[in-house]
Structure 1
Amino acid sequence: MLYAHAMDIARLRHIVAVADTLSFSRAAEQQNITQPALSRSIAAFENRHGLKLFDRGRGGVTITPAGEFVVAEARSLLRSADELTRNLQLYAQGAAGRVAFGIGPLVASLLLPRLSGSLLSSSPNLEIATVIKSPVDLLASLYDDSIEMIIGNDWQLADAHGIAIEEIAFLDLAHVARAGHPLARKDRVTPEDLAAYPAARPVRLNMGKADAGTFICDNYYVLRETVLHSDCTWTTAPAFVEDDLANGRLIALNVEGLALAKSRICIITLAGRTRSPAARTVADLARQVVRGWV
């Protein structure tokens, strides 16, 4: 294929225009340049490559065999150049390319369906890769550039180095159990009452003493089903189970002396790194969605 630098692209457009119109004057008008300038452009190409592209006679312009070859190659190169221009525009808008990010299990359950739907609707050419783990387990992937950012809570990241943390929302938490659970009949539940029943959790906690049992799973939909069909209690976001709370399938427990802090939701990136346009689009959409949580 023909080698082309920036000026050659314009010259190839001149050649194709003459081939399409079989007229130097009409081609010059189409390309918005003067006819002498068009003639000089094509002559410069012919001189550089030692080829004659067009014959001009009383019958008009005809394409030489060399011209047929060059025009075919030029059309292919111009299609590629135009496609590159379009793709660069899409990439700069965050609408093309690939973006990979990590997301915590709870935030994924709340955010990811809406986020992915919005991204694919607005940017159908974008490739989106997600990894769902606790933020602390995602740090290695952030450090080795497998992912560009993490969306999730930062409660285990106090000792992490080289990261930038942007707070985007606080998420309410509650202790819940199924309707009909023995604790659901109590106006007030003590921590000892709570410890008498197994707990459903997304991660293993380092507890000072053993409790009644634990079911650990980072899939919040599985945790929800487990709690609905067992005596497990669960600390989760009311926003995730709002329908179950509204229809009485789950009950929020009032646990004495065990107030829950809100979960701080953040966007976590490597400090000093420039995000791709697609990653900026993901972050902007994440901020928009989580505004509805507060």
Structure 2
Amino acid sequence: MDLTRLRHIVAVARNQSFSRAAEEEGITQPALSRSIAAFEKRHGVTLFDRGRGGVHPTAVGRHVVERARQLLDAVGDLESSLKRHPQGEPGQVAIGLGPLMAGLFLPRIASLLLGSWPGIRVRTLVRPPDQLVAELLNDRIEMILGNNWNLGRVPGTEVIRLGRIEIAYMVRGNHPLAAEKAVLMTDLERFPMASAIQPPPGGARESAGSFVCDNFHVLRETVLASDCVWVSSPAFLAEDLRAGRIVQLTVYGQGATYSDIAMIVRRGRSRSSASVVAAEEIKSFLERSSKDG
């Protein structure tokens, strides 16, 4: 399809006149007539009925005009997008996130992207990072944001470290263990575990039960309403910790534990502006958290 000919067709339909359409397009009327005739001959159709009352599209002409307008509008949108952003304005971005990353960063990332590019479509998948690899390799998502996973060996991928975040055992403020200065691992095993991933079978904790959910906000509400012990990030629960609704436990013999935060992308692929902005926002947050800590 020749976009110039489509533009000529739309101009004739809009003006209901070959002469006015030619003037609008800045060409002679014979040249415009030849352009329309070439389209009609190539596709074996008649686009316009010509009479004393003016020029009117035929049934097939109305169909062609409608589709031509759609195509020309799409081309115009693309040209405007490329002018507004030197690297090409992202129309959409698909991101895979681990449960902690979603709870901690997803509202922040969504707000930033929607504010930076009005009209952008942001699609997210929240799953344990190892379950997102197939989505990345099949180009259904552009990147994965997650913590503490060994994906550097996956062929065709690249892991970019963004920082680290503290991880600790958490319970509700009036939990039986909350008043203890320090607890033993055997103390923790008496209570159910709240987790974003399925715990391995067996072990002393199995008899205490577990609650598995990949939504950190649901996990938080569950911990506040039960005796569950939860391995989470103080950064995610900062307000609850300050208010005493949730307490961070100290475990005998264990110092501070940190989890590496990383982004995994397809090796050799160009990254969209949206993915770069999302990664930089997370990196900046982790740097600020590290300094505050």
TM tier, smaller: 0.7 to 0.9
Separation in structure 1 between the aligned mates of residue 65 and residue 264 of structure 2, nearest angstrom: 46
- Measured after TM superposition, the shift of residue 288 of structure 1 is 1.8
Shift of 1:77: 4.8
Aligned pair in 2 of structure 1 residues 23, 252: CA closer, same or farther (>3 Å)?
same
2:109 aligned residue: 115
**Closer/same/farther in 2, CA of residues 63 and 259 from structure 1, 3 Å limit:** farther
Select which of 1, 5, 13 maps to 2:2: 5
For normalisation by structure 1, the TM-score amounts to 0.73
Q: Residue 292 of structure 1 corresponds to which residue in structure 2?
A: 285
1:163-214 alpha-carbon deviations (Å, 9 max, x no partner): 1112223222222222233332232333344344433222234489423635
1:58 paired residue number: none
Give distance in 2, aligned partners of 1:266 and 1:110. 14
1:284 partner SS: helix
Q: TM-score, normalised by structure 2?
A: 0.73
Asked if the contact 2:143–2:265 (Cα under 8 Å) also holds between the matched residues in 1, the reply is: yes
Matched, 1:172 2:179: no
Residue-by-residue CA offset, 1:136-174 (whole Å, 9 max, x unaligned): 122233233333322212424354333111222322222
Relative distance call for 1:239 and 1:86 in structure 2 (3 A) is farther
Within-5 A mapping of 1:131-210: 131-206=125-200, 209-210=203-204
From the CA coordinates, give the structure whose radius of gyration is larger.
Answer: 1
Q: 1:174 to 1:41 in 2, by over 3 A?
A: same
Alignment of 1:1-294 (within 5 A): 4-9=1-6, 11-12=8-9, 15=12, 19=16, 28=23, 30-31=24-25, 33=26, 37-45=27-35, 48=38, 65=55, 69=58, 75-89=65-79, 90=81, 92-96=88-92, 99-120=93-114, 123=117, 125-206=119-200, 209-211=203-205, 213-217=208-212, 218-275=214-271, 277=272, 280-289=273-282, 291-294=284-287
Compared with structure 1, are the counterparts of its residues 17 and 139 closer, same or farther at alpha carbon in structure 2 (3 Å cutoff)? Answer: closer
Instruction: Count residues in correspondence.
Output: 273
C-alpha distance in structure 1 between counterparts of 2:274 and 2:9, whole Å: 36
The Cα RMSD (Å) is 3.8
For residues 152 and 242 of structure 2, the distance between their equivalents in structure 1, rounded to whole angstroms, comes to 36
Query: Distance between the aligned counterparts of 1:189 and 1:222, measured in 2?
Result: 26
Q: Identity, % of aligned pairs?
A: 29
Structure 2 alignment gaps of length 5 or more: 83-87, 288-293
